[in-house]
């Protein structure tokens, strides 16, 4: 089957023309001209139809999945509060967009943006800014001046660091920094005290700053796929946290303070290097999902841990009631040349009063049992 070629650059697919006409006739405030990710080029818009500029009542314009070049005439849509230009192969953000000063939500995900214009600071009413899936290597100072932002999505970019000025986003409730190349977090991240959702998965973090404990309103924290070897004690301040994902790090221990996260319902600790769980984990009374797969657990034994949090609680309860049994055993091997006096030395160790004498050379290996008293009434 062959598809018709676009006749000219102003070609508008019929279903888009119909939507524009309906919006005009009914004075609709929302218009969706998304391509729905069709692979057929003739269904993609390369520019916004001129008939759209007459829809000055529009408050929401959705243009996902096209190949748009943005006209300066977009400034005629001064009432826009929501603009979605995701998946349009944009390599830069036109200055004209920054004149839409009533925008509260701007979605630019899945483009090829490497930076943003300084004029973006004009969008002082922005509450939601979606920049995921671009090619940003840094967060410009101009973006950090958008202090009314409550949601900022920067996942799947190429960020290598965060500026200290990120602490200026004091109204943020959602911050997505997943799948970047971050190695550290600035101390100023502790200023984002209104955060409820923080996504840092798929970076290269080896440590977390103590200041992260100031994010006491967090209820969702995703740190999977990093290189964390330890967690700060301040993590115990996340008393509102209910979802914690630490899968695929290099953790060897957990801080005792983890037992303070009493609102946790989900914790993923899979594929780390944890040998011993802290007893405080039994205090997580609301926990209903605990993943410990892929850890070299010794305490509690892996066969108990695999049965879930109830079995872990029971293990620690029994351990506390019964105490720990010690074997009080050791092995001593004496190695040397024949006739060197190994047998004599072994006898002298067992009995300090043993009288030295000539003895025949031992043939093969000789095993002795040696009992030694200890101060706690156990023989060793």
Residue 259 lies in a domain: no
- Alpha carbon distance 244, 251 (integer Å): 14
- The backbone torsions φ and ψ at residue 164, rounded to the nearest 5 degrees and listed phi first, read -60, -30
Q: Are residues 127 and 249 in the same domain?
A: yes
Q: Write out the two tokens for 278.
A: 């802290």
Give, in order, the Cα–Cα distances in Å from 184 to each of 140, 188, 230, 361, 374: 18, 12, 14, 65, 50
Domain region containing 97:
14-253
Single pTM value for the model: 0.81
The pLDDT value recorded for residue 321 is: 81
Residue 327 confidence (pLDDT) above 60:
no
Q: Are residues 334 and 249 in the same domain?
A: no
Residue 220 lies in a domain: yes
Residue 379 confidence (pLDDT) above 70:
no
Q: Are residues 248 and 371 in the same domain?
A: no
Q: Please calculate the CA angle 212-217-221 and round it to the nearest 5 degrees.
A: 60
* pLDDT band with cut points at 50, 70 and 90 for residue 322: confident
Per-residue pLDDT tens digits for 269-305: 999 999 999 999 999 999 999 999 999 999 999 899 9
Among 253, 268, 303, the domain-final residue is: 253
* pLDDT band with cut points at 50, 70 and 90 for residue 362: low
Contact 159, 136 (CB under 8 A): yes
Per-residue pLDDT tens digits for 165-214: 999 999 999 999 999 999 999 999 999 999 999 999 999 999 999 999 99
Percent of the chain scoring above 90 in pLDDT:
73
Q: Are residues 245 and 340 in the same domain?
A: no
The CATH number covering residue 69 comes to 3.80.10.10
The pLDDT value recorded for residue 114 is: 96
* Mean pLDDT estimate for the chain: 88
Among 230, 253, 276, the domain-final residue is: 253
Q: 154 versus 333: which is more confidently predicted? A: 154
Residue 359 lies in a domain: yes
Give, in order, the Cα–Cα distances in Å from 374 to each of 66, 144, 329, 352, 377: 81, 67, 12, 17, 6
Residue 2 confidence (pLDDT) above 50:
no
Rounded average pLDDT over 335-359: 65
* pLDDT band with cut points at 50, 70 and 90 for residue 7: very low
As for how many domains the chain has, the answer is: 2
Among 253, 278, 300, the domain-final residue is: 253
């Amino acid at each position: 089957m062959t598809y018709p070629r676009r006749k000219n650059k102003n070609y508008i697919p019929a279903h888009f023309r119909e939507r524009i006409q309906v919006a005009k006739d009914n004075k609709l405030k929302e218009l969706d001209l998304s391509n729905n990710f069709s692979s057929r080029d003739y269904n993609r818009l390369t520019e916004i139809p001129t008939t759209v500029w007459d829809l000055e009542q529009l408050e929401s314009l959705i243009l996902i999945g096209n190949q748009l070049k943005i006209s300066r005439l977009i400034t005629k849509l001064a009432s826009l509060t929501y603009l979605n230009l995701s998946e349009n192969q944009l390599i830069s953000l036109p200055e004209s967009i920054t004149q839409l000063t009533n925008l509260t939500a701007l979605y630019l995900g899945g483009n090829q943006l490497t930076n943003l214009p300084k004029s973006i600071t004009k969008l002082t009413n922005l509450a939601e800014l979606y920049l995921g899936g671009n090619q940003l290597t840094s967060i410009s100072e101009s973006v950090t001046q958008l202090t009314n932002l409550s949601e900022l999505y920067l996942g799947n970019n190429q960020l290598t660091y965060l500026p200290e000025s990120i602490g200026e986003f004091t109204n943020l409730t959602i911050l997505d920094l997943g799948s970047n190349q971050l190695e550290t977090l600035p101390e100023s991240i502790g200023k984002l005290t209104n955060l409820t959702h923080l996504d840092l998965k798929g970076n290269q973090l080896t440590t977390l700053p103590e200041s992260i404990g100031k994010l006491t309103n967090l209820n969702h924290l995703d740190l999977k796929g990093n290189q964390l070897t330890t967690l700060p004690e301040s993590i115990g301040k996340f008393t509102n946290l209910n979802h914690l994902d630490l899968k695929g790090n290099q953790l060897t221990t957990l801080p005792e303070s983890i037992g303070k996260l009493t609102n946790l319902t989900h914790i993923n600790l899979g594929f780390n290097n944890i040998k011993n769980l802290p007893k405080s984990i039994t205090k997580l009374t609301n926990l209903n999902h605990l993943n410990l797969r892929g850890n070299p657990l010794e305490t509690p034994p892996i066969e108990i841990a695999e049965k879930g949090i109830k079995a872990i609680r029971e293990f620690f309860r029994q351990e506390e009631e019964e105490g720990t049994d010690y074997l009080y055993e050791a092995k001593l091997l004496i190695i040397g040349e024949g006739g060197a006096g190994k047998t004599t030395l072994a006898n002298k160790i067992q009995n300090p009063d043993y009288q030295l004498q000539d003895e025949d050379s031992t043939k093969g290996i000789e095993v002795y049992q040696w009992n030694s008293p200890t101060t706690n009434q156990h023989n060793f």
